Amino acid sequence: MTGRAGRAFALAILLLGHALADDIPANQRLSGHDMMGAEAQAMQRDDFANPAMLAVKEGEALWKAAPGEGRPSCQSCHGDAAESMKGVAARYPARDASTGRAFDLPGQIQACQTGRQAVAPSARESAALLALEAYLSLQSRGMPLASPRARGLEDAVLRGEKLYRQRFGQLDLSCAQCHSQNWGRSLGGTRIPQAHPTGYPLFRMEWQAIGSLQRRFRNCMTGIRAEPFPAGAPEWVDLEIYLKERAADMAMDAPGVRP
Amino acid sequence: MSGRAAHAGTGRELWLAIAAFLVALAMPARAQQDVPEAGPLAVSRPPDAENGRRIVTDRRKGLCLLCHSGPFPEVRFQGDLAPSLAGAGSRWTPAQLRARLIDSRLFNGETIMPPYFRAEGQSRMAVAFKGRTILTAEEIEDVTAFLATLRE
């Protein structure tokens, strides 16, 4: 009996393995940094050469500055970011305890601006929001991405995975078809990465600018001739949560440089 | 009329295509012989193989060489996600090539090849492309004619 149960269990594990086999095994995961050329890697590693570090400097100034007369600065509540924000970006997106809604890091900054600082929130993809995001992300550099599932975001992980595997657009392609099943191959001369969001916000040479993960999502959707979700849409947050579950324990390298 | 309806033609052809698809599914991957076929689309002018070549090598129009490679020495960056187009005209008949272009899902439900003559069924189609196929019927015939010339 136990032998049969054992065999059934082994079969179940085998089938489960097959079901998961269309994604990258944990020990073969590579970040965009791992996959890019040595020159771009060197540019990222050198804080004086990394163009995203300009945004970090700007973000540090914004962190310390009061957004208006009598309004608290980020620092007046949170203190020294090097202390209080250490590892925080690695745990985003996070669920807001009062509303139950999951915020990505820029969304949380906007919520602080509206709720705590009583100012108009910085727009998505604005220089100010990217700068604050870059400054906060730097405080998690080298730290492992925390598993969203382990912090109670299971539902969002499942929704995000569904989006990751769904075909979109006139070209009828899913994220998974390129980034899980064909990573490393040449798409018209460009090497397809594994889509692990370890380095955002990052300076992309193609953009000649620092940009967010949602900007990257938009680019992919436009490329397959699909209508992107609006900036800040919950679908983007779900997708980010899934990608961070998929990349759990990988080291953050924000603010990154990418080709 | 949608591209798919034009391609399906009579009900009999549709059932044949479905039957061929089911047969293909049941067979080992390398032994496919009865693969889907599609007859010539209704077009306003004769096929132009030279224009077909232009479409194939145009990164924004045909997009083919993003994934495929082939005998196109002037194209610097070619893809390796899909088989080389060299010899495609020896491996497939024009009717089979055309069916692949129209909707490659008839061959393989998991394919990454975009459906070049299907404007319906995609999720979140970009507004600028809504209701439009990637290629027109004329362009499908041009590309089919060109691929048929790629013999080994």
Residue B65 belongs to some domain of the structure: yes
Question: What pTM was estimated for this model as a whole?
Answer: 0.86
Answer for the pair A124, A234: CB distance below 8 angstroms, yes or no.
Answer: no
Of B59, B79, B119, the CB nearest to A186: B79
C-alpha torsion sign, points A211, A213, A215, A221: positive
pLDDT at A17 over 70: no
Helix (H) or strand (E) holding A81: helix A81-84
pLDDT surpasses 60 at A3: no
**DSSP per-residue letters across B67-109:** H---S-TT------SS---TTHHHHS-HHHHHHHHH-GGGT-T
pLDDT at B3 over 60: no
pLDDT digits (tens, 9 = 90+) for A86-111: 999 999 999 988 888 899 999 999 99
Least confident of A18-32, A109-123, A236-250, B83-97: A18-32
Residue B117 lies in a domain: yes
> Is ipTM beyond 0.90?
no
Is there a domain that residue B107 lies in?
yes
CATH at B90: 1.10.760.10
Q: Does residue B128 sit within a domain?
A: yes
Does any CB of chain B come closer than 8 Å to the CB of residue A98?
no
Q: Which residue has the higher pLDDT, A32 or B16?
A: A32
Over residues A176-197, the mean pLDDT reads 97
Number of domains in chain B: 1
Q: Which of residues 185-244 of A touch B (CB under 8 A)?
A: 185-190, 192, 221-222, 225-227
Q: Is residue B22 part of a domain?
A: no
Position B16 pLDDT exceeds 60? no
Tens of pLDDT along A48-93?
999 999 999 999 999 999 999 999 999 999 999 999 999 999 999 9
Residues B11-31 have a mean pLDDT of 48
Full residue range of the structural domain in which residue B113 is found: 36-149
Is there a domain that residue B29 lies in? no
pLDDT tens for each residue of A217-236: 999 999 999 999 999 999 99
In a domain, B11, yes or no: no
Nearest to A93 by CA among A142, A152, A40: A152
Whether B122 is covered by a domain: the verdict is yes
Mean pLDDT over B112-129 rounds to 96
